[in-house]
Structure formats: C-alpha cells, structure tokens
C-alpha cells in the first residue's frame, strides 16, 4: 500500500485537467493525444449545432491565432465535439473548413468522447432546444485549454478572457517554448 495516495502538494497540482485520448479527426484519421506531441495543443470543446458559445469562441480564437504570427506554427488548434452522434467527421469537416480553417475537428465514439470530457473536466449535458423541438442543445464548458508539447496541462482560458489577454499569454508560452511563461 502506498504511503501517500491521491492527494497533492501545493507544488504538484496533479488535480489539473488533461490526459490521454483516442479520437478521429475531421479527415477520418485516428488520432490520439500523442499525435500532437511536440506542439502546443489549444483545445476547445463544443458542438457544431451550437448557436452562441462555439461560434463566438472559435471566431475569437481564430483571430488570436492570426495575431500570433510565426509562433502560431507551434500551436495545434483542436475543436473537440461533445456531440459525436451528430458531429461525424464529415460534419466536422464541413463545419471547420467553412468557417474555422485554423482548427482540426475531433470526434469519436461516445465512449471516447466521454473519456476525453472526463479527463478535461468538461461539462456537457443534453438539453431540450426551445427553438427546435426535434433537436437538442448541449450546454457545455467554454474553456480553452493549452496543453504543452509534452502533453501536460499548461493553463486554460475562461470565456471571459479577452482576446488581448489570450494573445499575450500564448506568446509568452509559445515564445519561450516552456510550459510556464
């Protein structure tokens, strides 16, 4: 039996999000967290039917990436669906290429999506759509996660973070190449 389990010290914040995943990108290729080692992953979770949060966030993040200049090459923007039943690779591809070409869309089985949601502590819950009785909404966490080249959590941005703030922080992280600014 271990002498010390689960709990963490102030310098070892192992409670932070992140971990492994096995998904499918919008080209239909199998990918995992290891596929992006050596780059910073910028992850945003959402669903293509989202009418408010996702369009605003993806647009904002696209502008941020444009402003990064050359260091953007170190960044891999990923858009992970929480609605794999509707967001097939084909749907993701059309959605991404139409409006957010900076991003790679990721989907997968319900089981694998639930897993990646879990390790990133993402909330998403199916709810009725008052504007579409036959459809549904998926209220979800609106965080943007920055994961380092080693696959470890670096930081996250809330939906209240301003564009300038995100640019500033990303330049700090990406410019230094370190997981701390």
Partner 1 sequence: MSVSELGHSTAPDVSRFPFLDPLQLGHLRHIENLAAQPDGEWSKMGIPDPGQEWLDSYRYQLAQMAYALGLAHYHRLPAAPAVFRETFDHLIRKMLRRDVWGYWKDTSQAGPYVNPDLKELRKGWIDPVVRENIMYSGHLSAMVGMHSMLFDDDAYDQPGALTFVHNPIFWGMKPEKFEYSRSSLNEVIYWQMVENGWLGVACEPNCVFIVCNQFPMLGFRFDDLRKGGSVAEEATRSYRSAWDKKGIFSSEGWFHGWWRVEQDDFVPPKSVGWTAWGGAVMNTWNRDFVRGIYRDQLRGVLKYGSDGLISLYPNSVVSRVREAMASGHPVNEIEDRTYPWPMPDFGYVAMLLSEMGDADLQGIFDHADRFMSPTWSDGGLYYPRNDQSYDADGNLVRMDRLTGNAMLAYARLNVSDGLWAMYNKPWTSDHFADPALQRISAAVDVTRAIFDRDTRLLVLTLQPRGDRPPEVSVDIGPVEPDASWRLFRDGALVVTARRGETIESTGEVRPVARNGGVGLELCIEKATTLVMAFDDV
Binding site for partner 1 (CB under 8 A): 1-13, 15-17, 121-123, 125, 139-141, 143, 158, 160
Nearest distance from residue 123's CB to partner 1, in Å?
4
- Comparing CB distances to partner 1, the nearer of 82 and 91 is 82
Distance, CA of 173 to CA of 12 (rounded, Å): 20
- Comparing CB distances to partner 1, the nearer of 6 and 70 is 6
Nearest distance from residue 89's CB to partner 1, in Å?
27
Nearest distance from residue 2's CB to partner 1, in Å?
8
Nearest distance from residue 30's CB to partner 1, in Å?
27
| Cβ–Cβ under 8 Å, residues 142 and 39 | no
Question: For residue 106, what are the contacts with CB-CB under 8 A and spacing of at least 6?
Answer: 23, 24, 25, 26, 31, 78, 79, 80, 81, 92
- Comparing CB distances to partner 1, the nearer of 35 and 81 is 81
Contacts 24+ apart (CB under 8 A), 164-173: 166/60, 166/61, 166/64, 167/64, 167/67, 167/68, 170/42, 170/64, 170/68, 170/71, 170/75, 170/146, 171/68, 171/71, 173/40, 173/146, 173/148
- Comparing CB distances to partner 1, the nearer of 11 and 180 is 11
Nearest distance from residue 103's CB to partner 1, in Å?
22
- Comparing CB distances to partner 1, the nearer of 68 and 129 is 129
């Amino acid at each position: 039996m271990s002498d010390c389990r689960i709990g963490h010290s102030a310098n070892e914040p192992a409670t932070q999000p992140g971990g492994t995943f096995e998904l499918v990108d919008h080209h239909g290729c199998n990918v995992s967290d290891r596929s992006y080692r050596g780059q910073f992953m910028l992850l945003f979770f959402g669903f293509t039917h989202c009418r408010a949060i996702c369009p605003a966030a993806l647009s904002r993040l696209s502008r941020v990436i444009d402003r990064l200049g050359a260091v953007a090459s170190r960044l891999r923007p990923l858009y992970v669906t929480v609605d794999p039943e509707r967001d097939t690779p084909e749907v993701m591809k059309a959605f991404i290429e139409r409006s957010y070409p900076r991003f790679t869309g990721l989907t997968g089985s319900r089981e694998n999506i639930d897993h990646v949601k879990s390790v990133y502590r993402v909330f998403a819950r199916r709810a009725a759509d008052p504007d579409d009785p036959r459809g549904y909404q998926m209220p979800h966490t609106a965080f943007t996660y920055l994961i380092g080249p080693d696959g470890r959590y670096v930081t996250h941005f809330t939906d209240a973070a301003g564009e300038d703030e995100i640019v500033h922080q990303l330049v700090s992280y990406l410019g230094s190449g370190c997981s701390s600014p």
